Amino acid sequence: MIRYYTRACNFHYGKESKFLLSKKKTLSLKANKEISFDHLELISRKSKKKIHIKDIKKFSKLLRKQIFLDLRNITSKNKNFSNLNFQKLPNIMGVLNLTPDSFSDGGKFNKKNKATRHIVDMIKAGANLIDVGGESTRPGSKTIETKMEWNRLKKVLKSSCKKYPISLDTRKSEIMERGIKYGVKIINDVSGLSYDKKTVNILKKYRTPFVIQHSQGTPGNMQNKPRYKNELLDIYDFFEEKIKTLRNYGITHNNIILDPGIGFGKNLKHNMNLISNISIFHSLGFPILVGNSRKRFIKEIVKKNDTKSRIGGTVASSVFLMMQGVQILRIHDVNELIQGIKVYKELINN
């Protein structure tokens, strides 16, 4: 049988969503009345077909079974964890880079007082979680030693983890364990748990929530002509296989977040296809995180090479992602993004 992937589409938001749900014309995304959909796109490696939800009954028994299994994941409520509320769209993960060489804010916050102040500012602006990293994984960056990474992190983590919801952005098991002992809420590994084989042991031992991010290659080479047979379906298969492996290893909880890794081994075409069709990942059943903030795709579209002037592109892509039901956005400019989302929500609910 041909493998089909089910993508929820044609979303409705806010008051319109609630009205259509009351008339039983749409299905809610993740049991959230604020967002619902009335179409599906059935995608295979060779074809695409968009259908209304009422037309599912026209398909063969085997295909109907597959669609209904996907729909169960698409419509089932995700349990809240780590200060994230999945009945609220979107949650915001603020970015704090304690590095001298990150692509957009390297060196800006690598003093403890400045870092702490920035954490407080992002929380006050409305961030649900702060993602703290001590190693740059921008395209072309090199791996640093564990000792150096921890020296950048330890003071900020020690002073902040008990007061604020902190996510730890690291690929190294030793850093993860130290951070977990300090009280970090989530581990965010850009390598998809593949850089350090011991990371899975740590996550299993402490039952810590974590992000699985897709990346192709390493930060040093990931942008050297990345290739896929079909980036959307290849990444879907990556997540499916990774979850299966983790289950077999004994990680049975659902406090897992999926991140397709915008810009991590992807060119402009790959990134645009992923963002445009991001809702396909809802059928895996886990919350989706996207790091779109200040990313290179904005520069490539706008033709302006200034990472500090990409707020407009970040806000535009964030609103689009929210309208596809993405639950978490990883953002540098938290205040500006939340301002834009509040205005947009007010307008569509007026």
Partners of residue 132 on adjacent β-strands? 96, 168
Number of H helices, E strands in the chain: 11, 12
**DSSP conformational letter for 227:** -
Question: Any idea of the CA torsion for 118, 258, 314, 302, to the nearest 10 degrees?
Answer: 130
Please state, in angstroms and rounded to a whole number, the distance separating the CA atoms of residues 68 and 204. 31
Peptide bond preceding 165 in cis form (omega within 30 of 0)? no
Distance CA 281, CA 287 (A): 9
Which contiguous run of DSSP H or E holds residue 331? strand 328-331
Given 30, 138, 178, 330, the catalytic residue? 330
Q: Give the C-alpha separation, 156 to 140, whole Å.
A: 26
Active site residue 295: yes
Smallest CA-to-CA distance from 37 within 63, 58, 69, 6 is with 6
Give me 249's structure tokens.
Answer: 């290893």
Give the single-character DSSP code of 81: B
Quickly list H helices, the chain.
14-22, 61-75, 112-125, 146-160, 173-182, 199-206, 231-249, 268-276, 296-302, 311-322, 334-348
How far apart are alpha carbons 258 and 245 in whole angstroms? 15
Catalytic residue, chosen from 7, 30, 138, 295, is: 295
Q: 213 forms bridges with which residues in the sheet? A: 259
Contact 243, 256 (CB under 8 A): yes
Active-site positions?
A: 295, 330
